[in-house]
Structure 1
């Protein structure tokens, strides 16, 4: 893929992390595809949501930023399968949990959007 594609996906991931840290559904709607599949794969907490249900949950939570939680995240891998399909592996800490996200991105018009967010988490060990 082109350097511009890598840059756009990097910018999308920055907005994704910031949107989660701020619990800002307006910001997150700009990174998610309207047909988002949100899947928690943690044993005992399996969950399958659509975009609107997930955004309702985001709107109902106290933002980690307001609690003074530091942002702790990392993009582990960006892999392009084609000019219309990519995968991002990322990790982050939020709400007392360590998360591992596997994000599937597709072109939506001229932009990249997350169409599937599949993740698992473990309680954070301090």
Structure 2
């Protein structure tokens, strides 16, 4: 049996990846809630402040950057979810932690925290597994 929420979140994350790779702010605007925040060490942005940065940076697809985005983990509890994804982008290796909510039947990203990790980053778990 396949979980329809997992399918929908996976679709949304792939839309996110496509939006990043093509600097497609229309696509990104659709996957992020209007009040979403984007946060990193020493940086706090609204969705629209971040989209302004996206549209004014190099476009990975136009500079033939490799498409290496990857979903690491999705954890769903009811109408809330957390996703951990790899986003190699413009010479950086970002790890994004995305908070999602399902409201009015639709999943959106409501918060993004991210860090630039080294390419040799090893996924770690403290679950004892």
Gaps of 5+ in 2: 121-129
TM-fit CA distance, 1:114: 0.3
The two structures have a TM-score, normalised by structure 1, of 0.89
CA deviation map 1:4-63 (0-9, x unaligned): 11110010010000100001100001100111110013xxxx210001111111111121
Number of paired residues?
Answer: 119
Gaps of 5+ in 1: none
CA distance in 2, matches of 1:34, 1:123: 31
CA distance in 1, matches of 2:108, 2:16: 10
3-state SS of paired residue (1:48): strand
Q: Which runs of 4+ in 1 moved over 3 A?
A: 122-125
CA distance in 1, matches of 2:119, 2:56: 22
Q: Counterpart of 2:60?
A: 64
**73, 77, 80: which one aligns with 1:81:** 77
**87, 95, 102: which one aligns with 1:100:** 95
The two structures have a TM-score, normalised by structure 2, of 0.87
Q: CA RMSD in A?
A: 1.4
